[in-house]
């Protein structure tokens, strides 16, 4: 197992603020496309409705999850767990192949941190200006720059918080309540809490989350092997580094430190692989730019595996990756099958507890029930409702036609002749619903006068 050193920060940045310099280049373009796409998805998906229903909504009040036109109940929670397991294996495969590219390119913590750094650069200027600003005293210009930065951070954090909560409470309701100044104190508090968390995470704590709070930084070495592509500085080519390449034995590194200045976690990758590196590729882009300007080949810092460094064959697709892919295919296959064949109907039976039984004009003793039925399949369905006992008579609607996602509350009576032999009558009864796809049932109790002791 490859051991990854924990910290080797640039000495000037230890215990201090990290002033990140934004850079341009191949990997930054890829990162922006991925993070821009994901961010757009996050902000827009909550607003998309299908047949009047928000397409992604974790509705805790009715214990239902609406997912792209499908309805899931707590019984389907194992499906969600399964999809999360597939996601985790995908992450392992990605880490084994290309180290922490998930962290650098797609993790929400990084994406939001980059946005906050961009806002900081727009409002307070580039890295050098920000350092100068921090060493100078306060004046009106500095104060207005700070106010602008923190206001934009706060606005973006609030927008993020409202959207996030909009996946648990219909987002249009939240928006209407805000517009009509009718927001409840509870909702206001939730928005405030998540906005604060976003603000602190992406604005103030930043790379410390990746280094100290995210467990991934610690166990990543388990997933690395000699074929894993890591961000690596070519020591042989770069050293000895010299600011002006006057000496004949100078390496290609001109010690400009741009690779350190652009690093969002503030490390110097020239010290070797470190656990704080989130594989964002910013140092590659910065160094490639320097090398191009120096008319030297690019790639002084690059994604390379240990085996490649030693000139050995190093395929990305290897047995370990094939094993991950096989696991993903098998679990996904099972989940898709389970999803298509998942429970089509949920029946809840609520027995009337006010009146144990009533007698009707036909000389029968009846118990009263409320049935809550919900079609949670991916299609409209019809069901025939009945009882599992032929000794009892069910009074109520026997044919149910439910649209996909439709929920109905229906009243039923279960009756038996008043003089029936109670020893033959069941005390436990099952309400059944059946169609050509299967049968569903829910247990309840039946009480006759003689059964009271």
For residues 267 and 400, which CB has a smaller minimum distance to ligand SF4 in the complex?
Answer: 267
Closest C-alpha to 416, from 356, 367, 349: 367
Supply the minimum distance, in Å, between the C-beta of residue 14 and ligand SF4: 15
For residues 64 and 261, which CB has a smaller minimum distance to ligand SF4 in the complex?
Answer: 261
Where b means 16+ CB within 10 Å and e means fewer, 197-235 reads ebbebbbebbbebbbeebebbeebbebbbebbbbbbbbe
Three-class DSSP category at 214: coil
Q: What angle do CA 37, 42, 44 make, to 5 degrees?
A: 90
List the 428-435 sheet strands across, edge first. 399-402, 381-387, 428-435, 438-445
Supply the minimum distance, in Å, between the C-beta of residue 149 and ligand SF4: 23
Supply the minimum distance, in Å, between the C-beta of residue 301 and ligand SF4: 6
d(CA 447, CA 351): 11
For residues 180 and 246, which CB has a smaller minimum distance to ligand SF4 in the complex?
Answer: 246
Supply the minimum distance, in Å, between the C-beta of residue 224 and ligand SF4: 14
Supply the minimum distance, in Å, between the C-beta of residue 263 and ligand SF4: 3
For residues 98 and 194, which CB has a smaller minimum distance to ligand SF4 in the complex?
Answer: 98
Supply the minimum distance, in Å, between the C-beta of residue 296 and ligand SF4: 9
Beta strand pairing call for 70-72 and 64-67: antiparallel
Beta strand pairing call for 53-54 and 56-59: unpaired
Here the tokens at position 109 are 């913590």
For residues 231 and 415, which CB has a smaller minimum distance to ligand SF4 in the complex?
Answer: 231
d(CA 275, CA 269): 11
Contact 112, 160 (CB under 8 A): yes
For residues 290 and 387, which CB has a smaller minimum distance to ligand SF4 in the complex?
Answer: 290
For residues 163 and 228, which CB has a smaller minimum distance to ligand SF4 in the complex?
Answer: 228
Supply the minimum distance, in Å, between the C-beta of residue 251 and ligand SF4: 9
How do the residues of the chain divide into helix, strand and coil, expressed in percent and rounded to 5?
45, 20, 35
For residues 72 and 290, which CB has a smaller minimum distance to ligand SF4 in the complex?
Answer: 290
Backbone angles phi, psi at 256, to 5 degrees: -75, -15
Handedness of CA 177, 179, 181, 186 (dihedral sign): positive
Task: Enumerate binding residues for ligand SF4 (CB under 6 A).
Answer: 104, 231, 233, 238, 253-259, 262-265, 267, 269-270, 277-283, 286-287, 290, 300-301
DSSP structure class, residue 9:
B
Peptide bond into 347 cis (omega under 30): no
Maximum separation of any 2 CA atoms in the chain, in Å: 112
Supply the minimum distance, in Å, between the C-beta of residue 299 and ligand SF4: 10
- Tell me the C-alpha to C-alpha distance, in Å, between residue 120 and each of 56, 220, 390: 32, 31, 74
- Torsion-angle region of 403 (φ positive above 0: left; ψ -120 to 50: alpha; else: beta): beta
Supply the minimum distance, in Å, between the C-beta of residue 218 and ligand SF4: 16
Supply the minimum distance, in Å, between the C-beta of residue 157 and ligand SF4: 23
Supply the minimum distance, in Å, between the C-beta of residue 160 and ligand SF4: 23
For residues 166 and 281, which CB has a smaller minimum distance to ligand SF4 in the complex?
Answer: 281
Where b means 16+ CB within 10 Å and e means fewer, 71-89 reads bbeeebeebeebeeebeeb
DSSP structure class, residue 240:
S
For residues 160 and 275, which CB has a smaller minimum distance to ligand SF4 in the complex?
Answer: 275
For residues 24 and 255, which CB has a smaller minimum distance to ligand SF4 in the complex?
Answer: 255
């Amino acid at each position: 197992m490859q051991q990854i050193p924990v910290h080797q920060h640039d000495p000037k940045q230890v215990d201090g603020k990290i002033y990140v310099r934004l850079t341009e280049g191949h990997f930054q373009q890829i990162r922006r496309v991925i993070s821009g796409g994901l961010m757009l998805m996050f902000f827009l998906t909550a607003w998309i409705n299908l047949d009047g229903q928000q397409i992604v909504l974790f509705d805790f009040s009715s214990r239902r999850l609406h997912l792209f036109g499908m309805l899931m109940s707590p019984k389907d929670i194992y499906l969600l767990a399964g999809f999360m397991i597939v996601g985790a294996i995908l992450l392992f495969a990605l880490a084994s192949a290309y180290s922490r590219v998930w962290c650098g390119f797609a993790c929400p913590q990084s994406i939001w941190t980059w946005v906050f750094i961009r806002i900081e650069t727009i409002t307070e200027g580039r890295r050098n200006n920000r350092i100068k600003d921090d060493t100078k005293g306060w004046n009106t210009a500095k104060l207005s720059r700070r106010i602008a930065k923190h206001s934009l951070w706060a606005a973006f954090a609030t927008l993020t918080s409202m959207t996030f909560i909009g996946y648990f409470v219909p987002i249009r309701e939240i928006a209407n309540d805000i517009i009509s100044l009718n927001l409840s104190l509870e909702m206001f508090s939730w928005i405030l809490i998540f906005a604060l968390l976003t603000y602190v995470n992406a604005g103030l704590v930043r790379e410390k989350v990746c280094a100290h709070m995210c467990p991934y930084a610690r166990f990543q070495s388990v997933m690395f092997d000699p074929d894993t592509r890591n961000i690596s500085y070519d020591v042989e080519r770069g050293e000895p580094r010299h600011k002006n390449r006057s000496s004949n034995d100078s390496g290609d590194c001109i010690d400009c430190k741009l690779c350190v200045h652009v690093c969002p976690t503030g490390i110097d990758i020239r010290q070797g692989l470190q656990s704080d590196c989130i594989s964002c590729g910013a140092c590659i882009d910065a160094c490639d730019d320097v090398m191009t300007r120096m008319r030297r080949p690019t790639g002084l810092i690059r994604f390379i595996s240990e085996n490649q460094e030693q000139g050995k064959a190093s395929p990305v697709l290897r047995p370990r990756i094939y094993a991950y892919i096989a696991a993903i295919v098998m679990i996904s296959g099972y989940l898709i099958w389970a999803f298509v064949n998942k429970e089509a109907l949920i029946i809840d039976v609520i027995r009337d507890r006010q009146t144990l039984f009533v007698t009707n004009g036909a000389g029968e003793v009846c118990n009263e029930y409320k049935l809550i039925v919900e079609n949670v399949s991916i299609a409209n369905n019809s069901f025939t409702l009945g009882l599992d006992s032929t000794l009892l008579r069910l009074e109520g609607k026997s044919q149910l036609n439910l649209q996909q996602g439709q929920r109905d509350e229906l009243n039923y009576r279960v009756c038996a002749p008043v003089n029936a032999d109670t020893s033959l009558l069941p005390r436990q009864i099952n309400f059944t619903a059946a169609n050509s796809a299967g049968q569903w049932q829910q247990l309840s109790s039946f009480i006759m006068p003689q059964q009271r002791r």
